[in-house]
Amino acid sequence: MISETPTAISLFTGAGIGDLGWRNAGFDFLLMNEVDEPRALLAARNFPETTVNVGDIWEEKGEIIKRTRTLLAGRQLDLLTCTAPCQGMSKNGQGTLLRNVRRGLRPRLDPRNRLILPGLSIVKALKPRWVVFENVSEMASTLIEDSQGELRPILEVIESELGPLGYRGKAYDLEFADFGVPQRRRRLITIYTTVPEALEILDQGGSLAPPASHSKDVDAGLLPWVSVADALAGFPRLDASTSALAIDSTDPFHRVPLLDERKYQWVTNTPPGSSAFDNQCLDCGFDDNPRHGSRKGEDGVNRANSDTPINCLRCRAVLPRPHVIEDGAPRIMRGYTSAYKRMAADLPAPTLTRNLSYACSDQKLHFSEHRVLSLAEAFTVHTLAEYDYSWIPKGSERAAKDSLIRLVLGESVPPRGLFTIGKHLLAIENGKVTFDPLGQLSFPLRAA
């Protein structure tokens, strides 16, 4: 049982957005490490009591261990979070990669996937009670070269490194919308621990991940998912047609980029949950022009259809669909079929990405208004608006550029999700969560 404020360190901190959730759950971050200085300066501004170490983890792991031990001053480290970059995680199956290796076809592996190795070295040196790896779901099917150069599944490497030290754990594919986040964001949360109460739950076949509080299924006996329409209900209307309509003078972050006349036409004719690529004829009203889509080629790669009509089949008028002009004639725009697509109002927002301000990106159109989401709205669907977060980097007097804000939002996870996980881990350690023989988690009520 933890009797004092639990201690924590964060590797691959980014701008510290996800760590807000851990902190609100009760963890005290002694040290954070981040390779990119602009991100680190945002983390330092928002975690002023935390030592923020800046540098490549391969080069800094010794310094991280040394500084953490000094900051602990003899105390136990309770939590280490490791959020290595996810851009290199492969969607290819492990079986295919391993077959190619056996055939002598050595695949090119993204070196960023191996960043978990120095993280494991730090775990082995500091021996925290809890270790939490957070990454995209594809991590479960990613292969890396281990410290001996052998190609192995990344989860197997974690187990082989931590198991001999007494750690046990599992990887959980979690949907953060199930925790009341108004955004659909799946992440692989891998939890390893030496905490006796947690090991007992694992022995009984239980889970270290918190149970869902919300569900897409209205008959599941849980709260319904929080829709993007409900989450953003209080925001003033904006419109991307003119500068006057695209800005809210009362909130510097509630503003959107303008759309030119053609793009605005595509957007205004796009129904909720639909793509502008499926818009129908404005001239004659014919609404049976073939929709856009994709199909797999002989190589197995899914590609957008190239024969989707841009002219109405009945009257030959140009359809209000994304297109370019080539040799004086319109041609359907190449790209993802989910480009210029509206969010569904009755669902949580799609996953926020660094391209959240671009209508041409994946499902970025507002569910009812003719624009993308504003940054202020993005803060809300990311649950960042629930926390006191400053966008002014340490040592600066001006807010970070929009490009950096979009980047760190897209690469982070909603802090409310990590808050839920953090509270659950502390409840396990403090004996407030048990696992009965029927396979149900139990949360004993406090005495009145």
**Per-residue pLDDT averaged across 370-390, rounded?**
98
**Per-residue pLDDT averaged across 206-217, rounded?**
95
Q: Which of 13-27, 41-55, 241-255, 300-314 has the lowest mean pLDDT?
A: 300-314
Sole residue written with tokens 């290796």:
101
Which distant-in-sequence residues (6+ apart) come within 8 Å of 86 by Cβ? Answer: 135, 136, 138, 139, 411
pLDDT of residue 433: 86
pLDDT of residue 446: 38
Domains annotated for the chain, with CATH where assigned, are 7-223+413-442 (3.40.50.150)
First to last CA, the chain: 22
pLDDT tens-digit map of 81-121 = 998 765 544 444 445 555 555 555 555 556 667 788 999 99
What does the buried/exposed string (b/e) look like for 408-425 if buried means 16 or more CB atoms within 10 Å of the residue's CB?
bbebbbbbbbbbbbbbbb
User: Tokens in use for 114?
Assistant: 């191996």
User: Burial level of 190, CB count in 10 A (0-12/13-18/19+)?
Assistant: buried
Q: Are the C-beta atoms of 198 and 192 separated by less than 8 Å?
A: no
pLDDT tens-digit map of 285-333 = 999 999 998 776 655 556 778 789 999 999 999 999 999 999 999 999 8
Report residue 71 CA to chain centroid gap.
30
User: Tokens in use for 52?
Assistant: 């923020």
Q: What percent of the chain has pLDDT over 70?
A: 88
